[in-house]
Amino acid sequence: MGRLVVVSNRVPAPRDRQQPAGGLAVALRDALSEGQCLWFGWSGQQISEHEKAERDVSIDHVENVTYATIDLTHAEFDGFYQKYSNAILWPLCHYRAGLMEYNRKDREVYLDVNELFARKLLPLLKPDDLIWIHDYHLFPLGQALRDLGVTSPIGFFLHIPFPPWSLMKALPGGTKLMQNMQAYDVIGLQTEDDARNMNDGFSICGVKARAQVFPIGIDPESFAEQAKAGEDLAEVQRLGESLAGKPLIIGVDRLDYSKGLPERLKGYETFLQRYPEHRGKVVYLQIAPVSRGDVEEYRLLKQGLDEAVGRINGSYGDFDWTPVRYLTHPVPRHLLAGFYRLANVALVTPLRDGMNLVAKEYVAAQDPEDPGVLVLSHFAGAAPEMEDALLVNPHDADEIAEALHKALIMPQAERKARWALLQPDVWRVTAGSWARDFIGTLAKVKRA
Ligand code: ADQ
C-alpha cells in the first residue's frame, strides 16, 4: 500500500503531535502509526499581505509522520475559513440555509485557497500515495489536484451532514461543487441519509460519482480506561462532593447553533416546570466552550445562552441550589471522561450533527454495573446506531422534559439493559475501524 497523505484544514499544533488530544488526530492515530505518512494543511497562523510572496511550506517530522503546513493571510483566513466555510457551508450543511451569509467574493477566496493547497502540496507528493482529504473546507481540493495532473487515488470524507439537493441548490455554484466531486475515487459520509442526499444530488446534477457510508467512532477502550482512572482525580472527586448526592445531568458541546443548546435549556426549564419534585434535587452541568467566537451568529448564540441560564437560575434556583452550572471554557479530556462517568444522564440534543462523538464517549465512560442514561437527538448521525438511548426531538421541549424525568427515575436493571445494547456498537464502529475501512477502500482503487 502507498504512503498515506492526509489533508485537512487544520493540522495538529506541534505540542499536540506526540500525544493527540482530540479530533481528527485521535481518530487517525492507528492509521498514522503505520508506514510513512504526510499530513498537510493550514498551520493556524495568519500572515500579512506582504509576507504572502515568501510564504513557504513548513515541514516537521515526528516519528513516521511528516507535518507540512502553510500560513494563510488575514484575507484568506477571513474569506476561506470564517466566511465561506463557517458562515456558508456549515449552516447550509446543517439545514440552516437562512443563516447563510453568501458573498461571491468569499467563494472566490475559498476556491483560491483550495488551489493554493493543491499547488503547495503537489511537490510533496509521490506517485504511489493515497490521498485522503477531510471536510467541507476542502470540497474542491481533489479537482484542483487533478487539474495539476495528480493521478493517485484521492478520497474525501465529510464529517458533517449533507442536506437534500433541494436545500443544497440554494448555494450559488452548488452544481459546480457537485461536479468537482468527480475528482474523488472514494467519497465517504457519516450516515445513510447523508449518502442518499449526496447521491440524489449527483444524479440530479448528472455527476458520475457515488457517496458511501463510513460512520466514525471513538477509541472506546482508551476512553473507558480514562473514565475509570478519572474516578481518582481530585477534580472529579470535587465535582462529586459538590453534588451532595444529587444526580448529575451533563451536556458537552462546542458552543455551536447546530448543537441545539437554547432548545436544550428550554427542555430543562420545561422539566423543572412540569416535574417540581426534581427542583433542588438535580444538577445540570453544561460545558460549552466558545468556538468561532468572531462569527456574528456565534456571538448572538452565546448572548442568548447566557441570558437563558441566568433566567433559569434566577427563577428556579435557591440560596443553596443552582439548577444550571454553565462553563464556556474547555475542560481537559481526562477530566471530561471522569465527569461523564459521574453523570447520571447525558443530554446530547443537536438539531443536526454529522455523528456526535460525545454520545459515544458517554457510553464508553459508564460503569457497566451502574450506567447512566443517554438522552439523544434523532438528528445526531449517531442516532441510527444508538436506538437504545432515549431518543428525542430536540425541538420539542416537552419531549426533552419527559425523557429527563424518565432517565432520572429509570430502574438500574433498565439502565443496565439499555447500556448493554448500546455498548457493542460503540466498541465495533471505532475511530480505528473507520480509518481502516476508508483507507482499505481507497487502496483498492485502480484509476482508469
Ligand atoms: P464536532 O462538531 O466538534 O465534530 P463532536 O462529534 O461532538 O462534534 O466531537 C467533539 C469532540 O470534542 C468530542 O471528542 C468531545 O469530547 C470534544 N469536546 C466537545 N466539547 C468539549 C468541551 N467542552 N471540552 C472538551 N472537549 C470537548 C465534527 C462534526 C461531528 C462529527 C465529528 C467527527 O460536527 O458531527 O461527529 O466532526 O467526525
pLDDT of residue 296: 84
How far the first Cα of the chain sits from its last, in Å, is: 18
Best residue among 357, 362, 386, 433 to mutate for probing ligand 1, ranked by most atoms within 8 Å of CB = 357
Question: For residue 364, which amino acid is it?
Answer: A
**Distance from the alpha carbon of residue 175 to the mean position of ligand 1, in angstroms:** 30
| The residue type at 389 | A
Helix (H) or strand (E) holding 414: helix 412-428
Residues 6+ apart with CB under 8 A from 234: none
What's the ipTM?
A: 0.97
3 CA distance to ligand 1 middle (Å)? 28
Work out the percent of the chain whose per-residue pLDDT is above 90: 91
Of 193, 194, 219, 353, the catalytic one is 353
Residue 156 CB contacts under 8 Å (≥ 6 apart), including other chains:
132, 133, 134, 138, 139, 142, 181, 184, 186, 187, 188
- Name the residue among 281, 233, 266 with its Cα closest to residue 396: 266
Least confident among 191-205, 215-229, 433-447: 433-447
Which residues does a 6 A CB cutoff place in the pocket of ligand 1? 22, 159-160, 216, 252-254, 287, 289, 330-331, 336, 353-358, 361, 381
pLDDT average, residue stretch 185-211: 98
Q: Mapping DSSP to helix (H, G, I), strand (E, B) and coil, where does residue 290 land? A: strand
Max Cα-Cα span within the chain = 72
Cα–Cα distance, 10 to 43 (Å, whole number)? 7
Q: Which atom of ligand 1 is nearest to the CA of 380?
A: 35
Determine the topology of domain 220-428 in CATH: Rossmann fold (3.40.50)
- Judge if 4-217+431-447 and 220-428 fold alike in CATH terms: yes
Give pLDDT tens digits for 343-381.
Answer: 999 999 999 999 999 999 999 999 999 999 999 999 999
Selecting among 94, 134, 137, 159, the annotated active-site residue is 159
**What residue segments make up the domains of the chain, in order of their start?**
4-217+431-447, 220-428
Pocket test for ligand 1, best of 358, 376, 433 (most atoms within 8 A of CB): 358
| Nearest atom within ligand 1 for CA of residue 253 | 20
Check: CATH 3.30.1490.20 for 4-217+431-447? no
pLDDT tens digits, 83-94: 999 999 999 999
Q: What is the pLDDT of residue 294?
A: 80
- The pLDDT of residue 16 is 84
pLDDT for the residue 411: 98
**Residues facing residue 72 across a β-bridge:** 46
pLDDT tens-digit series, residues 378-398: 999 999 999 999 999 999 999
How is residue 287 annotated by DSSP? E
Contact between 122 and 7 (Cβ < 8 Å)? no
Quick one: cell of 434?
Answer: 473507520
The question of whether 159 is a catalytic residue gets the answer yes
C-alpha cell at 254: 462546542
Plot region of 391 (φ>0 → left; ψ -120 to 50 → alpha; else → beta): beta
Q: For 414-429, what is each residue's pLDDT tens digit?
A: 999 999 999 999 999 9
- pLDDT above 70 as % of the chain: 99
Q: Determine contact, residues 130/152, Cβ cutoff 8 Å.
A: yes
